[in-house]
Amino acid sequence: MQFLDAIKFEDISIANVLLALTLSLFFSFVLRWHFIRFGKTLSNRENFSSVFPYITTTTMLIIIIVKSSLALSLGLIGALSIIRFRTPIKEPEELAYLFIAISLGIGFGANYLLVTSTVVSILLIIMARFSSMRLHSLQQHLYLTIDIQERPEDNGTLDLLTETISKQTEFCDLHRLEMRDHGVQVTYFIDISSSNNVSVLLDAIGNVVPGSEINLLDQKRIPGV
């Protein structure tokens, strides 16, 4: 009884906890959808974002319990000091979404329901807007190298290849043509508006010169380019 009297949870309301839990789950799943839809990281976004509901609700629970007791808050500091996180964060964008998930838990756990909902909603709208603008303005400058295993019987194949690439890209410039004993290597400078068009471009090239080897290299990754 003395221990229970020392730690009082007068500020905890079941109704407030259920409301905070509902909002935490709702916004964490919204955050998960937002990361899958608008995220640009190369890792598996579905697997990574599946932890958002756990992070948000767990943080919310910790804040709800800790804010009602000074003893528990001091104990939490000692408990966190022995925790080591070894999960690598590959992209800064992943870290940003993790902080948003934690912020949701802290805000709802501290009972700042309206402020947290409003700020996070505005933030996600802004992030979605910037992501859409970046997608529309994206232009990738690439080196496209095609190794044709057999020499074409005439120049019509190379002309058709250049025409096909030009239709699928924003800019196409034949940079190098090397005739070999048993084949031809062709290099183009191309500008492509979206990474989603790469698969379409590769299929179109495969229809013109089937069995060829195709390499794409980002010019921005090359020093001095």
Write out pLDDT tens, residues 86-100.
555 567 788 889 899
Same domain assignment for residues 55 and 126: yes
48 and 112 co-located in one domain: yes
pLDDT at 164: 87
Q: What is the pTM of this model?
A: 0.55
- Report CA torsion sign: 215, 216, 222, 225: positive
- Residues in the chain where the model's pLDDT stays below 70: 1-12, 41-43, 68-90, 132-140, 152-155, 194-196, 218-225
How high is the pLDDT of residue 23?
A: 94
What do you get for the CA distance between the two ends of the chain, in Å? 74
pLDDT of residue 225: 43
Instruction: Identify the pLDDT of residue 2.
Output: 45
Domain range for residue 158? 140-221
Alpha-carbon distances, residue 120 vs 27, 85, 106, 113, 131 (angstroms): 9, 25, 12, 11, 16
Whether residue 216 sits in one domain with residue 129: no
**How far is residue 19 from each of residues 24, 32, 52, 55, 182, measured CA to CA in Å?**
8, 20, 18, 17, 71
> What pLDDT does 6 receive?
44
Residues 159 and 207 in one domain: yes
pLDDT at 1: 45
Residue 115 and residue 149 in one domain: no
